Amino acid sequence: MTRSADTHCPYCALQCAMTLTPTDVAADAAADAAATPVTVAGRDFPTNRGGLCKKGWTSAELLRAPSRLGAPLVRGADGVLHEASWEDALDRVAASLRGIRSEHGADAVGVFGGGGLTNEKAYLLGKFARLALGTSRIDYNGRYCMSSAAAAGNRAFGVDRGLPFPLEDLDDADTILLLGTNVAETMPPFIGHLAGAQAAGGLVVVDPRRTATARLTADGKGLHLQPMPGTDLALLLGLIHIVIAERLVDLDYVAARTVGYEAIRRSVASWWPERVQSTTGVPALTLRRLARRLAAGGNVYILTGRGVEQHVDGTDTATAAINLALLLGLPGRVGSGYGTLTGQGNGQGGREHGQKCDQLPGYRKITDPEARAHVARVWGVSPSAIPGPGVPAVELLRSLGEPGGVRALLVHGSNLVVSSPNIANVRERIAALDLLVVCDFFLSETAALADVVLPITQWAEEEGTMTSLEGRVIRRRRAISPPAGVRDELWILAELARRLECTATFDTEPELVFEELRLASEGGIADYSGIDYAMLDRGEAVYWPYPRGGTGTPRLFADRFAHPDGLARLVAVSVRSSAHPAPRPGELTLVTGRLLEHYQSGAQTRRVPELADAQPEARAALHPSTAERLGVADGELVELSNDRGTVRCRARLTTDIRPDAVFLPFHYGDEQAANLLTSDAVDPVSAMPEFKTNLVRLARLIEI
């Protein structure tokens, strides 16, 4: 006997559809997931059309991984983590939280969430922090991912939905400009949607590396621009300069649908193509060719990814990409547009329901009295019971264990000692905590430092909803029972809230939580009030905003933008010379990024044998000319260092990287963690850290 569940991949925001079939129902009935083989089959869905990448194909291995946690762990007086009962583990957490709160105040407890949590978990986590803990100190790892694009979208359009159109719209594109995104490796089924533009010779990739995506432009199928790392903003200002100078602006659109044109015009006046060439290394002729192609009409899309967003000027860079799109009249025109490619599985929904330090459900501002009153009504409390704004992730982590800072931290869905910037400092701050509680499937690098580890269900064992990179709400469905010793995070939050004597409701059934989320989101920017599980189970294509009694919104901005006057903002931005210092003699620019085989911090994919065998360790990608200068041969051990830390790994020689840069994947921990070298300086608008352009020295290590 078999039974199947139609669900979606546990990893990235493409949320490829898959069918899971447990092949031993008897073992499943005994709640023995380790003994329940599950087969994975790609399922036809508009985003993946039946395709999966190797991460998706092997995802069921996560369920059966030998290192999966099967019981809570509590650190004993001997300093070692020991198995404990759920009762004892939760009692210890609650008692510690009560003690810390009474001694240091509610803001001495912090919560760190994740962009992989279901909508229901993200929502309940925000409510738990504000009501059960009474703390303002909540933020999440999406701060490291989507915050710059989100800030730019909110600033320009008044709303932040990654793709404001269905992904399938890209199929009919004549030209697609991809800025800082390597979809061919991060979400391979995506490239099916690039085929039209590729065939039309209109695929343009901007990336300092010749990535798998950049290689799609070979043989006359498009263009690859390989700027110096950290010069994306200058490149975009140069494109805008050409568009204005060559009278390629859609003036009717700009007049009817935007404000701010004059300031933009002035702000790019000095970014003539030859100056951009000397700043970025991209020939002026190529820039002119690209600008003309973008303005030539047809269906044109501009898409940004983390490569241009994960910077201290990431918001301004994403803003410049939006400015370019607006000047060309793309957003809101059917068959054209601007979008940002969300990375984490629920990176979209995870940023809508209240995990952010300044946000309430429905993508509402926590400082807005009307928003507070609405959410307070749904939660059955007075608005004054909801704390005010907290602090973003990096600031929250900097405060750990400091006087007046956070003394107890609860971590959900994040491996923050691998994925945060400047992690030597994060590890130091975590060591100063009175209490660290981590919910995870595995003993991740962060869980290994915890006082209490709570083992949780995985995607194939739970119900819920996710919101994909196109703002489409989809169902996650249970295929197998969880192992006996693990619990759902909704249950954990409810149990902790009860122990903390919080009288607010904390449902444990995902559908009930979603019903509450609907109410809390009603009237907000991300309005889910018209959505229910039944319509998702019928397979309806449901995009937010979807007001009660209304319809969903696959395409935003057809008639108006989300600002009160309906107009988009052209926001003048400028290059800050201090943002990306050029390498000094002996230095290289470190570019971090992903590999096909791994996801985020690698806490999951490094435990899947096929993926770990293919990419078992970090390798520093170096141009052969750089390697020769430094006396490094392919496969030799090297040391990358700066004043924040040191990484030791093997070198991989490739002409895909510029001679002035070195590439390191960020999926590995311990001494191979790329974020030992990254800076925790942040973007002044989005609080995004600088992940992409950090200066390092590189030297060959003598093996003995």
Tell me which residues touch ligand SF4 (CB under 6 A).
9, 11-12, 14-16, 48, 52-53, 55-56, 187-189
CB of 10 to ligand SF4, least distance (A): 7
Closer CB to ligand SF4, residue 189 or residue 238? 189
Q: For residue 363, give both structure tokens.
A: 């993508």
CB of 515 to ligand SF4, least distance (A): 27
Closer CB to ligand SF4, residue 15 or residue 414? 15
Task: Determine the length of the chain.
Answer: 704
The CA R_g of the chain, rounded to the nearest whole Å, is: 24
Amino acid at 454: L
Closer CB to ligand SF4, residue 521 or residue 600? 600
> What is the Cα 2 distance to its own chain's centre?
35
Closer CB to ligand SF4, residue 114 or residue 524? 114
Closer CB to ligand SF4, residue 49 or residue 648? 49
Closer CB to ligand SF4, residue 55 or residue 257? 55
CB of 11 to ligand SF4, least distance (A): 4
What does the DSSP assignment read for 284-305?
Answer: HHHHHHHHHHHTS-SSEEEEE-
CB of 596 to ligand SF4, least distance (A): 9
CB of 301 to ligand SF4, least distance (A): 19
Cβ(317)–Cβ(311) under 8 Å?
yes
CB of 224 to ligand SF4, least distance (A): 22
Nearest Cα neighbor of 59 from 477, 461, 608 is 608
Closer CB to ligand SF4, residue 347 or residue 483? 347
Query: What CA–CA distance (Å, rounded) separates 89 from 644?
Result: 36
Query: What CA–CA distance (Å, rounded) separates 675 from 331?
Result: 35
Closer CB to ligand SF4, residue 43 or residue 374? 43
Minimal CB distance residue for ligand SF4:
56
Q: For 547-556, which contacts have Cβ atoms below 8 Å and span 24 or more sequence positions?
A: 547/522, 547/523, 548/518, 548/522, 553/471, 554/165, 554/166, 554/472, 555/164, 555/165, 555/166, 555/169, 555/332, 555/334, 556/157, 556/159, 556/161, 556/164, 556/165, 556/332
Nearest Cα neighbor of 46 from 187, 171, 172 is 171
The conformation of residue 165, written as its DSSP 8-state character, comes to S
Closer CB to ligand SF4, residue 299 or residue 600? 600
Write the CB contacts of 90 (distance below 8 Å, at least 6 apart in sequence): 72, 454, 492, 495, 496, 499
CB of 686 to ligand SF4, least distance (A): 24
Q: For residue 520, give both structure tokens.
A: 């809390």
- Give the three-class secondary structure for 477: coil
CB of 497 to ligand SF4, least distance (A): 32
CB of 47 to ligand SF4, least distance (A): 8
Cβ(90)–Cβ(317) under 8 Å?
no
